[in-house]
Amino acid sequence: MSKIAIAISVLSLTAFSLPTQAQQQPKSLHNANLQALDTNKSGGVSKEEYLQYMNAGYTRLDKNKDGVLSKAELDGIVSSEQFAATDANADGKISKTEYTTQITKDFDAAEKGPNGELK
Ligand SMILES: [Ca+2]
Ligand SMILES: [Ca+2]
C-alpha cells in the first residue's frame, strides 16, 4: 500500500477504534487494519472490501461536505507530495474520482496472496 492509503487507513481505524484496539502497539496497526477491512473474514482483504472501506474514509475526511478533499482537510494526514500525486488535475482538491483512482492503484500495487487478497 502507498503511504496515502496507509495514512488514511490508520485515520479511519482510529475513528472506529474500540477501547481494546486503541491499546495496541503502533506496529500492529497494519494487521489490525487488515482485520478490520476483512468483513467476510476470509483471512484476506479483497479489492471490494478495500475500496468500500477507503470510500467510507473519504466521506469522513470531507469535513465540510463539499464533495472534495482540500489540503486543509488532509493536513497532517498526507504530505504535500502525496497530495500532489493524488490531485491528478492539480486543482488543489482531491475529487472522489482522483481518490478512487489512487486507492485502486494502491490496491493493485500492493503485495497480495494467491487469491488476490491483501494479507
Ligand atoms: Ca471538503
Ligand atoms: Ca483534483
Q: Is residue 117 part of a domain?
A: no
Give per-residue burial for 33-49: e unless 16+ CB within 10 Å, then b. bbebbbeeeeebbbbeb
Q: Is residue 51 part of a domain?
A: yes
Q: Is residue 104 part of a domain?
A: yes
- Bridge partners of residue 69, in order along the sequence: 94
Residue 101's CATH number: 1.10.238
Q: How far is the CA of 96 from the centre of ligand 1 (A)?
A: 10
Q: Is residue 20 part of a domain?
A: yes
Q: Is residue 71 part of a domain?
A: yes
pLDDT at 107 over 80: yes
* Nearest ligand, CA 96: 2
Q: Is residue 119 part of a domain?
A: no
The total number of structural domains in the chain stands at 1
Using pLDDT thresholds of 50, 70 and 90, give the confidence band for residue 4. Answer: low
pLDDT of residue 65: 96
pTM here is: 0.72
Better pLDDT: 61 or 33: 61
Domain boundaries, position 80: 3-109
Q: For residues 48-72, give the mean pLDDT.
A: 94
* Nearest ligand, CA 86: 2
Give DSSP secondary structure letters for 46-114.
-HHHHHHHHHHHHHHH-TT-SSSEETTTTTTTS-HHHHHHH-TT-SSEE-HHHHHHHHHHHHHHS-B-T
Q: Is residue 32 part of a domain?
A: yes
Sign of the torsion angle spanned by Cα atoms 35, 36, 37, 40: positive
Average pLDDT, the chain: 81
First to last CA, the chain: 11
Q: How far is the CA of 93 from the centre of ligand 2 (A)?
A: 4
pLDDT at 85 over 90: yes
pLDDT at 1 over 60: no
Query: Which segment of 18-27, 45-54, 60-69, 98-107 scores lowest on mean pLDDT?
Result: 18-27
Q: How far is the CA of 70 from the centre of ligand 1 (A)?
A: 6
Q: How far is the CA of 66 from the centre of ligand 2 (A)?
A: 13
* Nearest ligand, CA 99: 2
The three cell numbers of residue 111 are 503485495
Q: Is residue 115 part of a domain?
A: no
Query: Which segment of 5-9, 43-47, 82-86 scores lowest on mean pLDDT?
Result: 5-9
* Nearest ligand, CA 60: 1
Q: How far is the CA of 62 from the centre of ligand 1 (A)?
A: 4
